[in-house]
Amino acid sequence: MSVVDNIKSSLQKSADELKNFDWSELQNIETIGVWPGPVKLLLIIIVFSGSLGGGFWFHIKTLQATLASVEAEEITLRTDLENKAIIASNLESYKQQLVDMEELFGTLLRQLPGETEVPGLVDDITFQGVGSGLEFSNIRLQPEVQQEFYIELPINISVTGDYHDFGAFVSGVASLSRIVTLHDFVIRTGATRSELIMDITARTYRYNADDE
């Protein structure tokens, strides 16, 4: 018998085995030992292909997730680089702004009274009140309040007058060359119906040189 005849005979035998095989046997893996060779080979091919395809799929998914992460990082780095480039291109402008801010800060500091100037500031507040037609019943310095960069100096004030006088007084204090803010005002009636009393706290500030 020739080789060709042997091949034909083998193929015919495999075809007969596949034709006569009960495919429901695939549900019982315990009988795999008696399955025809072509069925076993087909099963091996299916399992191998499935494993190869599944591994390739999950590998691709991992690569896609890594790619997305790298792309997001690239966008972040690109944005950061662009921001730094903008800052670098405007560096001289920022330096000038810093100088201007330091000069402005110095100007504001000069508006804060020194410790020895507080009595003069009290005189200025009193002058504004008297000039507005108010009568002082109390003006008293309170203990200093330490803040982070400055020291707050509260001054309790009690004056008698009318609404028009109070408004002129507040406007006059706001126009002082030194920084003075007014807080916690209370207006009540006085001894007569036409008399009003205003209690108010003026706060001025001085620079905390110890924290410089």
Residue 85 sits in the same domain as residue 119: no
Residue 4 sits in the same domain as residue 81: yes
**Gap between the Cα atoms of 198 and 185, Å rounded:** 7
Asked whether residue 205 is assigned to any structural domain, the reply reads yes
The dihedrals phi and psi of 184, each to the nearest 5 degrees, come to 55, 50
Residue 20 sits in the same domain as residue 57: yes
Q: Are 136 and 158 in contact (CB under 8 A)?
A: yes
Residue 84 sits in the same domain as residue 119: no
* Closest C-alpha among 65, 204, 94, 45 to residue 139: 204
pLDDT score of 64: 76
Residue 198 sits in the same domain as residue 154: yes
The burial class, CB within 10 Å (0-12 / 13-18 / 19+), for 117 is: middle
Tokens of 187: 């207006």
pLDDT score of 130: 93
Asked whether residue 122 is assigned to any structural domain, the reply reads yes
pLDDT score of 115: 66
Instruction: Tell which of 22, 55, 89 closes a domain.
Output: 89
Instruction: Tell which of 89, 105, 133 closes a domain.
Output: 89
Residue range of the domain that includes 167: 114-211
**The CATH number of the domain where 159 resides is what?**
3.30.70.60
pLDDT score of 16: 57
* Closest C-alpha among 86, 97, 201, 188 to residue 154: 201
Asked whether residue 124 is assigned to any structural domain, the reply reads yes
Q: Are 196 and 188 in contact (CB under 8 A)?
A: yes
Asked whether residue 104 is assigned to any structural domain, the reply reads no
Helix (H) or strand (E) holding 145: strand 145-146
pLDDT score of 88: 82
Tokens of 152: 């707050």
pLDDT score of 172: 93
Question: In a structure prediction context, what are the per-residue pLDDT tens digits for the chain, which is 212 residues long?
Answer: 554 455 555 545 555 565 555 556 556 665 665 566 666 677 677 777 777 767 667 767 777 778 888 888 888 888 888 888 888 888 888 888 888 888 887 777 766 666 657 788 889 999 999 999 999 999 999 998 888 778 888 999 999 999 899 999 999 998 888 888 999 999 998 877 778 999 999 998 877 766 55
Residue 138 sits in the same domain as residue 82: no
- Domain tally, the chain: 2
Residue 121 sits in the same domain as residue 207: yes
Asked whether residue 105 is assigned to any structural domain, the reply reads no
Residue 120 sits in the same domain as residue 36: no
Residue 81 sits in the same domain as residue 145: no
Residue 201 sits in the same domain as residue 132: yes
Residue 75 sits in the same domain as residue 120: no
pLDDT score of 107: 76
pLDDT score of 10: 57
Number of continuous H segments (helices) and E segments (strands) in the chain: 5, 5
Instruction: Tell which of 56, 89, 122 closes a domain.
Output: 89
Residue 73 sits in the same domain as residue 135: no
pLDDT score of 211: 52
